[in-house]
Amino acid sequence: MSLESIAVMVSRDLKEVVFVGAFAVICHIGPYRRTRDIDLALATPLSDEEFEGLGYRIFRESGKKVIRTPEGVKLDVYTRDVSGIPVSEVFSTAVVKRVGSGEIRAMCLEALLIAKMRASRPQDIEDVQTLCRRLGKAVRWVVVDALATPMESAELKNVVSAFSR
């Protein structure tokens, strides 16, 4: 089963879900490189029993709680913030995206760029460059200014302008 179909099913199962991370990048730009795990933000945390009741499996791997869908796809669940952006703001700024045969909610472009800039691992830096190259002109600076610090906003403007033709 494709990751897109699994995301649609996860959305149906868990209800208040916003996809973040690499899967959100794909929602915005289309096919790209990704690992076979899904990062998501939940409006209301679910207990282990609630996850298991929905057919999800909970494991302890290297001392860390791991949630897997019935198909075995690993879910990284955020309930407080995503790279410092409170989950409430992730939800209020989320956008609806069509993937495969269904619709899901994904982190908006602006929040995604800020989260990736803050993480700044090699893969995040590549994602920021790709998003700015392809969608730089679509960035809503009002949203960026509301979510980021003035320094981060200025840095992001610098990145977007570097890739603008």
User: Under the rule (CB under 8 A), what is the footprint of another protein?
Assistant: 31-37, 61-62, 64, 66, 74, 117, 120-123, 125-129, 132, 155, 158-159, 161-165
* Host H or E run for residue 98: strand 95-99
CB of 127 to another protein, least distance (A): 8
CB of 90 to another protein, least distance (A): 21
Q: Which is closer to another protein, CB of 18 or CB of 127?
A: 127
N- to C-terminal Cα separation, the chain: 39
Q: Which is closer to another protein, CB of 26 or CB of 94?
A: 26
Q: Which is closer to another protein, CB of 91 or CB of 163?
A: 163
Q: Which is closer to another protein, CB of 41 or CB of 117?
A: 117
Q: Which is closer to another protein, CB of 117 or CB of 144?
A: 117
**CA 58 centroid distance within chain:** 21
Q: Which residues of 39-57 are buried (b: 16+ CB within 10 A; e: fewer)?
A: bbbbeeebeeeebeeeebe
CB of 121 to another protein, least distance (A): 6
CB of 44 to another protein, least distance (A): 25
CB of 74 to another protein, least distance (A): 7
- Nearest-angstrom CA–CA distance, 139 and 84: 20
Between helices 150-162 and 109-119, what is the axis angle to 10°?
Answer: 100
Residue 18 CB neighbours (<10 A): 26
What's the token pair of residue 83? Answer: 């790279």
